[in-house]
């Protein structure tokens, strides 16, 4: 079973995404801020994928994405961005930094399954 970390300061959204992941046969771990997720990564634990909210106080999802992409140990980690922002400039920036997918809130089960599946396939191929 794949483990997916959800990093979102909205506890209800994190819970909803966690339930969807359960339906997709994934285990989820939720973090209410990027700092705690980063600390856990630095401690040596690593998920099979990350879902990052963009708009979080202090450390944004884009900051977390940059942090992950700068570390060789996490190069192959699939990362999907989750945001209420659908502006092209935000999506383009996330993809340029290294996001593997982008979904807008509220996300549907089908959309999450598609984007997460694409991200896993991309990294299985070694892209």
Axis-axis angle for helices 109-124, 11-23 (nearest 10): 70
DSSP secondary-structure letter at 74?
G
DSSP secondary-structure letter at 108?
P
Q: Are 94 and 102 a contacting pair, CB within 8 Å?
A: yes
**Could you tell me how far CA 110 lies from the centroid of its own chain?**
16
Structural domains of the chain sorted by starting position, each given as residue range(s) with its CATH number in brackets: 2-124 (3.40.50.2300)
Q: Using one digit for the tens of pLDDT, what is the confidence trace for 82-121?
A: 999 888 999 999 999 999 999 999 999 999 999 999 999 9
Q: Residue 126: is its pLDDT beyond 60? A: no
45: left (phi over 0), alpha (psi -120 to 50) or beta: beta
Q: Using one digit for the tens of pLDDT, what is the confidence trace for 30-89?
A: 999 999 999 999 999 999 999 999 999 999 999 999 999 999 999 899 999 999 988 899
Pairing type for strands 101-104 and 79-83 reads: parallel
In this prediction the pTM is 0.95
């Amino acid at each position: 079973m794949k483990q997916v970390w959800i990093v979102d300061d909205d506890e209800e959204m994190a819970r909803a995404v966690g339930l969807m992941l359960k339906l997709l046969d994934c285990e989820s771990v939720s973090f209410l801020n990027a700092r705690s997720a980063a600390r856990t990564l630095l401690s040596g634990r690593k998920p099979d994928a990350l879902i990052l909210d963009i708009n979080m106080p202090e450390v944004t999802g884009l900051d977390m994405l940059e942090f992950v992409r700068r570390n060789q140990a996490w190069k192959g980690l699939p990362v999907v961005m989750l945001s209420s922002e659908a502006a092209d400039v935000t999506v383009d920036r996330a993809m340029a930094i290294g996001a593997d997918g982008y979904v807008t809130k509220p996300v549907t089960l089908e959309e999450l399954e598609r984007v997460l599946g694409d991200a896993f396939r991309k990294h299985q191929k070694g892209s």
